[in-house]
Amino acid sequence: MLFYLFQPMLCVSAVNPVLFSKVLTLQRVTNMRKRIGALLPFVRCSFRGCIFKVVGSRRYLLESSDFFALKDLIDLSKGVFAALPVMVETISRKIVEHIAQQCLICCDVGIPCNARQHCDDLSCFIFPFQEGETERCKSCSSVFHKKCFKKTPTCPCGSHLNPGPESNGGGIVDNKNLLMGGIWP
């Protein structure tokens, strides 16, 4: 019986999909695991091995967001005292810090903001996993920090980025669809 306690054999979405709406911690952990899954391909150095070493036998937490071990669900039942949400949030934060700030190899996937002189921080690269923090030009798909996009009147391609209220949104493109579709430069 102890064997089953630590094996990721429970697919909560298949057993009871309503549970995600009832147990917000479960939903939060699942979303963080999906985010980790999206971040891991950008870790291109030995740090990936360090991450897997930290989780040890719970490697499944990084590889799939669907399966849980019985021990995970018991932990989540502790509510605010649960260790699993803290662990996956910490791992996610450490991966983002590593890619964006610490590693020159992994940082290579970032691109500069196209706002140029309107950019607040020219040394701050934009990364594919920053969907909520970026905007794209509708004409050429150039990437901007959200703050820079609002301050920049035109894109380097000549397109107007912030049209008047009579327009239907002008230069804004749905980042999530572009990133998932593989249009990232």
- Residue pLDDT, tens place only, 108-151: 888 888 888 878 777 788 887 887 888 888 888 888 888 888 88
Give pLDDT tens digits for 58-84.
Answer: 999 998 888 999 999 999 999 888 999
pLDDT at 167 over 70: no
Check residue 161 and give its pLDDT: 75
pTM: 0.75
Residue 127: predicted pLDDT: 87
User: How would residue 182 be classed by pLDDT, with cut points 50, 70 and 90?
Assistant: very low
CA distance 126 to 105: 15
User: What is residue 95's predicted lDDT score, i.e. its pLDDT?
Assistant: 96
DSSP secondary structure, 102-156, as one string: I-TTGGGG-B--TTGGG-S-TT--B-TT-GGGEEE-TTT--EEEHHHHHH-SB-T
CA–CA separation, 145 and 136 (whole Å): 9
Domain boundaries defined on the chain? 2-108, 116-180
Cα 34 to Cα 25, 63, 71, 86, 185, distances in angstroms:
14, 9, 20, 15, 23
Q: What is the DSSP letter of 97?
A: H
Residue with more model confidence, 1 or 124? 124
Taking CA atoms, 68 is separated from 50, 62, 111, 118, in Å, by 22, 11, 36, 46
